Amino acid sequence: MALSELYTEYNRVWIPDAEHVWRSAEILRDFHVGDNVLELLLEDGTHHYPVDPSNTRLPPLRNPDILVGENDLTALSYLHEPAVLHNLKVRFVESRIIYTYCGIILVAVNPYKQLPIYGDAIIHAYSGQNMGDMDPHIFAVAEEAYKQMARNHKNQSIIVSGESGAGKTVSARYTMRYFAVVSKSGSKTKVEDKVLASNPITEAIGNAKTTRNDNSSRFGKYTEISFDKKYQIIGANMRTYLLEKSRVVFQADYERNYHIFYQMCSCAHLPEFKNLRLLSADNFQYTSMGGDITIEGVDDKKDMEETLRTFSLLGLNKDFQSDVFKVLAAILHLGNVEIRNSGDDKSSVPPSDPHLAVFCELLGVRAEGLVRWLCHRRIVLVAETVVKPVPKERAVNARDALAKQIYAHLFDCIINRINTALQAPGKQHAFIGVLDIYGFETFDINSFEQFCINYANEKLQQQFNLHVFKLEQEEYMKEDIPWTLIDFYDNQPVIDLIEAKMGILDLLDEECLFPQGTDQSWLQKLYSYLDANHLFEKPRLSSQAFVVQHFADKVEYQCKGFLEKNRDTLYEELVDILRDSKVIKGRILLQLLFFGYTVDSLWTPYLWKMLHKVKTSLSLLMETLNATTPHYVRCIKPNDEKLPFEYDSRRVVQQLRACGVLETIRISAQSYPSRWTYIEFYSRYSILMSHQEADLNDKKQTCKNVLQRLIQDTNQYKFGRTKIFFRAGQVAYLEKLRLDRLREACITIQKHVRGWSQRRKYLCMREAAIILQQYIRGKRTIRAAALKQGWAAVMIQRHWRGYRVRQVYQLVRLASITIQAFTRGWMARKQYRKMLKEHKALVLQKYCRAWLARRRFQTMRRLVLNVQLSYRVQQLRKKIEEQYLNPVTLQNKENRGLVERLTSLANTQSQAVDRLQVLEAQLEKTTNQKALLEAREKKAQEDANLILREDHEKEMEILKEEIKRLKEERIGLNRKLEEVDQMNSDLQEQVIQLTKHIKIIPELRRDLSSLQNQRNNVDRKMKQQCEQSFLSLYRHFEEKAEELEEVKRELQSQVEELEEENDHLKRLQQIESEAKSKLRQETSRLTAENMDFEEQLDQKDRLIKKLQTQIKSLETSQKGTDTSASAVPKDYLGMLEYKREDEPRLIQNIILDLKPKGVVVNVIPGLPAYILFMCVRHADYLNDEAKLKSLMNAIIGGVKNSHHKDLNLLSFWLSNMYLLLNSLKQYSGEEEFMKQSTPRQKKNCLRNFDLSEHRQILSDLAIHIYHRFITVMEKTLTPTIVPGMLEHESLQGISSMKPTGFRKRSNSIYEDLDTYTISSIIQQLSDFHSTMTQHGMEQGLIRQAVKQLFFLVGAITFNNIMLRKDMCSCRKGMQIRCNISYLEEWLKLKDLQGSNAIDTLKPLSQTAWLLQVNKSTDDDAKEISEKCTELNPVQIVKILNSYTPIDDFEKRVTSSFVRKVQSLLQDREGSTHLMLDTGYRFQVTFPFCPSSQALELLQVPSSLRLDFLTKI
């Protein structure tokens, strides 16, 4: 079908648009060849698109919605620029997917937002997968490179390119991280960590902030990651290209210098940076030119800590780091050296310049020499040497040239040291190179740096074009399709324009040789020599620029500064000054900087050196890339504002044209862009087949027949060996036919369903009419009777309702009276309590007022006494004055006073003597009491010891008597058993007599009914009596309450008296408590000594019991020997005897050589466990600790060595270890494990040793075997999960297959082979279950294993849905739910519902429900947030964004609906991980399950070759 025939009504096309680049429009009328106008419908009205009849160039057709949003752009039916642009926009803006394939290219759009798609779980999910099986991802490209290196033994390259700010550095970093994770070497050198650690250093010294990117790489980097023969990382090597040295001395507005300078300035206060004399970054000229020294969201101090950490991780010592920082600080100080204009084209530097002094101090150079040769130049003539001063401008250029050259050499030196640290210790087997380089650049003002970058991109684009062309040719040849040459863009003429003889670079080199050469003279040469070249143009409005037509776009380069930069020469005099430095001679790094270059190389002009270096490095890079298999990653910058998930079509299309994506599309579109395998075509378009065609067994021939019938023009398709190749637009035509067929089928189904619905509705109405007629006719006949019955019913209802209302009223009245009575009583009591409180308050007030009155009286009395006293003192003074006149009388009075004092002193002395005698008597009394107490304590201690000994002897005698009594009781019990037998016979006779009395039962029933009636009567009487007694009791209680109140008052008065007595007693008690405390101390000491004696007695008791058990064992062994000598039949004890030297044979035969498929083992699966336990019992029976430990260690070691990766062995020994562990518990003698044991098993318990430690070791061993067992099952089951649960279409008639792209076709071979289905998974689970059941595994363990396997099925399936957009469809959800139902039926069939295994599939079942549910309204969003409880918000949003319609009947999920769901889920807490952890293990438990197996009845079969075992 011709492409022009597809321009029919309702189809859509793309027309150019100034704002959005391309705009969609709908065709209003069919277009026919010869029409001048194509009528279109736009959103703002109709539009007439003019068409030239002579050159029919119609607007490009738009792909059907079913094809929009594909993982691979080559899967689109119409391959052109607007289709690519729209597909990327739908994936990026609506689905929030940043990666898309375009043939062999991975297009990565920078989201400007952190996404949860780079964790280790994602890496492991992509590891080992084919590139087209999962959603596009940078990890998929890395896995493809790693896989091809291992499979083809060929080196690989990953080329990452794009504009500044497009995400190149991050993409390259993720690829290296992927290799580090998937190829862990396990060595102690941690090579992978070192490879990743090199990134922070290279970013610090090579990245800077630009207007387009905050972390722009200002150099190209090719990192070779080396692998050994096991394909594990052993080292790495870096090569750098095109370092932007000019950034060291110049930055544009809003840009920064390299990050390392700002990191150092932020740490200037630290001790290790004090000697560098650093200032703030805005105080240095080289770091403040852009005007912005900070980056939003970036902490330079923390970045410096990370840089120092990675320096140490790479093994770069402190001296090396110190040298690096010295050189960097010297560059900053050099930039601040002031150069002044001295007139007459002269310049000078002030000798007192502080920055000059710091620079000279850091590098150890002479300031005089440096100042001289910065401002002068030596010119060597034929006959003499002249020193000429230079103007300020030339001196500044010389200073900047020195700074740039020092930084460039420092950069190379650091890279070399990093390469040395990353060198491989072994031999490199293969490598994967990651190239991170500038993309095509075009600015408003483009200089030499952009010219070199675009030149390098021209070389890379040429290599890319040739590789794409080669792959396309190989594809055609592999499918036996006739190959026709395709016209693809070859940019060799542009490369010749730049690098050929008399090209741009050659003329530049020539102009550099002339001392008087200028930018204008070089430009005029370009105009004259290259004017005839159509790729070179002269601007119309400028005479200072030239234009080059690159493969991506036209670029105008300003010639100003080309030759000035060329003269940016580092002179020999400056180099000599640096070489004479003592500091430099003492440092290895600085020697490498300044002694590693010859004078000639330093005299060579900068641009010529740069040109030579660029050409040489590019040629080496091309050789490397051509010798490897390249993989391409094109990074796209969606907008210039760095807004998350904002899409600027004009910026994106500009980059798509520049990076070669559209060229790939164009090459593919020229031939047969759409390619389907026969299986895909058959599955997708089987609906277009007739019955005769569908009945053919050969699907390939069926596809050919159908296609020849549908498309008559055979030039529109070609049949290959495994694929069908289509011209552009043919798949869209087939989709249109398929959609028409589905629409016709839908109309037919709707017609029949509507007819059936209307018939059903009519029949229901007819049936209802008949029933109504029946009721109406019957109602007429029974109307009179119905009226009477209705009147009677109303009367009955009236009386009944009255009765009910009266009953309720009486109940309410009684309740009200009761409530009133209690309320009134409560109020009366409350009033009484209130009066009582007031009375008490009055009493308190009375006593308080009396106390106050007494207090006032006492104060007045004191005042009166004081007055009297003062009066009497005055009277006494008068008398003394009178007596003073008569001395004799005065002397007599004094003598009398002395006599009185002596008599009083004698009395006080006699009283003191009496008191001393009383105290001495008390002291003697206390000493006597203390001696008595000590004697009593000693006597009590001796009595306690005697009593304890006597008690112990008495207990021994009592125990002996009890043993005798138990023996007598045993004899008595035997007699009672005989009596019980006699009683049984008597009971049988009584049963016979009771049968005779059965006839009397009816009479007894009658008597019982009469008794019940009597009982009811008695109950009624009792109720009445109770009510009367209640009333009388109530009155009696009220009288009693009054009496009690009086008694209460009397008691309160008595209480007050008792309180006074109590205070007196308390004082006495304090005296007694002091004596008691002393007694308590003594008693506590005695009790501690008693406890020590009791512990000693307990130890002796244990010794006695142990000796008694040994005596019993000796007696039993002696009896056993006696009985063996006699002819009495053997009574086996359930033990196996063996010799110590036979222990290795036992382990070899029963563990190492035993196969779980033997007949004996199948009959008794736990036989090895029982045999081993019987041997353990015998060692315990003999009380041989050495033999027991040796046997247990041998068992554990043998089981560890017996299982490796064999499923049957692991299952068999897991079951036996579980049985052995249970046997050790059951026969341990512990009560908790003996509850369900038989008397014989209780008798056979272990006697001498506690094997709890060995039980713990066996438990750990069983857990280890369980995890190995689960791992082996998971390895077997994993390959079947994704094909069975997701890819296989278990529901008939529901196909979810869509067109696939180049990646799927190139990596998957579709042949009609057996594939895994859900039946394969169920069959595998059944095999596992039968194996576990056959080996006698306990049901609890089987449930745990099945639960773990179901979790694995759910997790792997869920993770694949998260990473596969093609699996997120409604039909796929139906298939998943169907498969889950199959698994649930299997659980029911195997009786494993109690394992909760189906609960592990809840995330998967909710995902399937989410894929099927309607996703459009607010109610739908609310329902999703309520029902998807097992999914976190990240997973729900990912599923909604990835939802892909299979047919045009389905609708995509709108971004507004996704935002609604996000708002409802924003408060939900939980994990934020996208993937489920497939390595998660549920905690295994070993529940105790006692065995009913009688060990004494077990027979050891001869086939086990255990004849050296003797049954005891």
In the annotated binding site for ATP, the residues are 162-169
> 885: which 2 tokens?
């006149």
CA distance 1374 to 1194: 55
Q: Please write down the HEC assignment for all residues of 1322-1366.
A: HHHHHHHHHHHHHCCCCHHHHHHHHHHHHHHHHHHHHHHHHCCHH
Q: Return the DSSP state at 291.
A: S
CB atoms within 10 A of CB 415: 22
Please give the C-alpha separations between residue 1432 and each of 1401, 1427, 1475, 1493, in angstroms, as whole numbers: 15, 12, 10, 50
- Give me the sign of the Cα torsion angle 697, 698, 703, 705: negative
For Cα atoms 984, 990, 991, give the angle at the middle one, nearest 5 degrees. 90
Chain centre distance of CA 712: 56
Q: How far apart are CA 259 and CA 502, in angstroms?
A: 40
**What is the DSSP track for 734-795?**
HHHHHHHHHHHHHHHHHHHHHHHHHHHHHHHHHHHHHHHHHHHHHHHHTHHHHHHHHHHHHH
Q: Are 1483 and 1361 in contact (CB under 8 A)?
A: no
Angle CA(1331)–CA(1333)–CA(1335) in degrees, nearest 5?
A: 70
Classify residue 916 as exposed, middle or buried by CB count within 10 Å of its CB (0-12, 13-18, 19+): exposed
- Per the listing, tokens 């049988």 go with 988
CA distance 1240 to 1199: 30
Half-sphere exposure of residue 1330: CA atoms within 13 angstroms, side-chain side: 6
The secondary structure element, H or E, covering residue 241 is strand 233-241
**1103-1142 b/e with 16+ CB inside 10 Å = b?**
eeeeeeeeeeeeeeeeeeeeeeeeeeeeeebbbbbbeeee
Query: 108 forms bridges with which residues in the sheet?
Result: 99, 635
Q: Shortest CA distance to 1146 belongs to which of 1498, 1497, 1512, 1500?
A: 1500
Structure tokens at 1354: 């759910």
> Which residue, among 118, 105, 116, has the nearest Cα to 174 in the 3D structure?
118
Q: Which two tokens stand for residue 32?
A: 């026919």
For residues 247 and 811, what is the distance between their CA atoms, to the nearest angstrom? 101
Give the Cα separation of 38 and 873 in Å (integer).
143
Do the strands 629-636 and 105-109 form a parallel or antiparallel pair, or are they unpaired? parallel
Which DSSP string corresponds to 579-597?
Answer: HT-HHHHT-HHHHHHHHSS
Which residues line the annotated binding site?
162-169
- Measured CA distances, 97 to 55, 92, 135 (Å): 39, 5, 9
| Nearest CA among 1172, 1176, 1135, 1221 for reference residue 1504 | 1172
Distance CA 1414, CA 1420 (A): 6
> Cβ distance 873 to 867 under 8 Å?
no
Report residue 52 as tokens. 């030239």
SS3 label, residue 13: strand
List 22's β-bridge partners, or say none.
16
d(CA 1191, CA 1373): 56
